[in-house]
């Protein structure tokens, strides 16, 4: 690889500079190249990957290098842009098109910061602020701001009032409805394991986007629950508390927690604050959200199981051995033990996502695990030796498992 000529300058930009200034771990390094052409990049050995505009991978580090560019709105949605990557585009021009000031800081090869739009000051003040009015041209930016809030809310970050107004403007103009499901899902997915995932949903709700993108979650706010089991009362608040409890779990588990109580959104008013039957009522809603967002099938499968059976986990100590064995079968735990573990973790996030000290422990989790181990490890060999097969074998194995669960449960209950 040869060197660029003196007319070409490379800068570290975006998240790498921002996170470096915040003292956070830098995961990805993106660069902008000023004064180069696609041909010059190729001649240096860079590998082109951009579809809409020239982006390249460094041949050795695989970091992304994009030609400095400007953009102009040419239609609706986030694909409606015309890009200019002429060699006359300056670094300041490129930074001006970015979403937030904290993402519009560059660093040259000597370590000097270039900050034409006040991003460093906004970082110090914990402010998410748009770079220019062009922010209101791209609906993806509403989702990005919400995702940044899920990441930085715990650091005290707020959204600038004018930026909030531009987000509402995008929603009111219907631009948010032009987002493709895959992009919406990507931002949700990337928010579920951030420091405060609830901030993503609350930010969308504040600007009116949540009711457009996830009406099944938006409608949970204001719906009461029984105070004995939910001191926080509000179903939407419980959903947010549970989502935050799941932030360190696998992404599919966090998604299952996100949608576990959707059935409460359609509980008839005359039976509130009770939500009897909300588990079964929620299944079509989980199915609909999963299909609409095009979430992976294994996410949807786990989410449906958690939605339907989470109350069985909470009441496991009151269930009979036969019911517990049936639950393990319904959860496909004998064939996929890891699925049971994900189910248990989701139920624990639900149970502990409530106000009050009494809800911060969830002994049911280890109770379920130990009962399952007892059932899973029954000795089937004598049954084969006695010639059982087919349906009769299955019935006998089930009886062995029920007996093992019963015995283990008695032991555990005595030690409580």
Do 342 and 253 contact (CB within 8 A), yes or no? yes
pLDDT tens per residue across span 9-57? 999 998 999 999 999 999 889 999 998 888 888 888 898 887 766 888 8
How wide is the angle at C-alpha 90 spanned by C-alphas 89 and 93, nearest 5°? 85
Q: What is the CATH number of domain 1-124?
A: 3.30.460.10
pLDDT band at 1 (very low <50, low <70, confident <90, very high): very low
DSSP classification of residue 177: G
pLDDT tens per residue across span 192-235? 999 999 999 999 999 999 999 999 999 999 999 999 999 999 99
Phi, psi of 231 (to 5 degrees): -55, -25
Q: Options 3.40.50.300, 3.40.109.10, 1.10.110.30, 3.30.70.20; which CATH number does 126-213 get?
A: 1.10.110.30
Span 358-377, average pLDDT? 96
Instruction: For residue 54, give every residue at least 6 positions away whose Cβ sits within 8 Å of its Cβ, in sequence order, or none.
Output: 38, 41, 48, 66, 67, 69, 85
- In this structure, what token pair is assigned to residue 295? 């979430």
The whole-number pLDDT of residue 42 equals: 87
Nearest Cα to Cα of residue 15 among 106, 128, 97, 108: 106
Annotated domain spans of the chain: 1-124, 126-213, 247-357, 368-416
Which stretch of DSSP H or E encloses residue 30?
A: strand 30-34
Q: Per-residue b/e over 113-129, b at no fewer than 16 CB within 10 Å?
A: ebbbbbbbebbeeebbb
């Amino acid at each position: 690889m040869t060197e660029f000529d003196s007319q070409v300058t490379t800068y570290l930009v975006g998240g790498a500079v921002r996170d470096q200034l915040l003292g956070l771990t830098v995961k990805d390094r993106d660069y902008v190249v000023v004064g180069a052409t696609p041909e010059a990049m190729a001649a240096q050995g860079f590998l082109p990957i951009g579809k809409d505009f020239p982006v390249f991978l460094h041949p050795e580090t695989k970091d992304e290098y994009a030609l400095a560019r400007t953009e102009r709105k040419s239609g609706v949605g986030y694909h409606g842009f015309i890009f200019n990557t002429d060699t006359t585009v300056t670094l300041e021009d490129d930074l001006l098109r970015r979403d937030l000031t904290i993402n519009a800081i560059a660093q040259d090869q000597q370590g000097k910061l270039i900050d034409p739009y006040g991003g460093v000051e906004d970082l110090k003040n914990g402010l998410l602020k748009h770079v220019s009015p062009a922010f209101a041209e791209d609906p993806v930016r509403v989702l990005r701001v919400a995702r940044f809030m899920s990441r930085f809310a715990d650091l005290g970050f707020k959204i600038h009032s004018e930026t909030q107004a531009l987000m509402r403007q995008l929603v009111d103009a219907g631009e948010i409805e032009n987002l493709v499901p895959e992009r919406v899902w990507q931002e949700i997915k990337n928010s579920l394991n951030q420091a405060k995932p609830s901030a993503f949903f609350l930010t969308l709700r504040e600007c009116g986007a949540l009711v457009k993108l996830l009406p099944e979650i938006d409608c949970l706010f204001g719906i009461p629950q029984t105070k004995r089991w939910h001191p926080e009362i509000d179903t939407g608040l419980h959903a947010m508390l549970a989502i935050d409890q799941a932030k360190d779990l696998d992404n599919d588990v966090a998604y299952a927690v996100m949608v576990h109580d959707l059935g409460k959104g359609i509980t008839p008013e005359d039976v509130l604050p009770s939500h009897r039957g909300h588990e079964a009522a929620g299944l079509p809603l989980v199915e609909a959200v999963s299909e609409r967002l095009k979430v992976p099938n294994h996410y949807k499968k786990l989410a449906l199981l958690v939605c339907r059976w989470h109350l069985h986990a909470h009441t496991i100590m009151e269930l009979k051995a036969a019911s517990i064995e049936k639950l393990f079968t319904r959860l496909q735990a004998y064939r996929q033990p890891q699925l049971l573990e994900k189910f248990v973790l989701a139920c624990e996030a639900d149970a502990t996502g409530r106000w009050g000290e009494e809800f911060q422990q969830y002994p049911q989790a280890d109770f379920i695990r130990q009962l399952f181990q007892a059932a899973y490890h029954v000795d089937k060999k004598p049954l084969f030796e006695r010639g059982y097969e087919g349906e009769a074998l299955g019935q006998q194995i089930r009886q062995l498992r029920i007996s093992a669960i019963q015995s283990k449960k008695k032991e555990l209950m005595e030690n409580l």
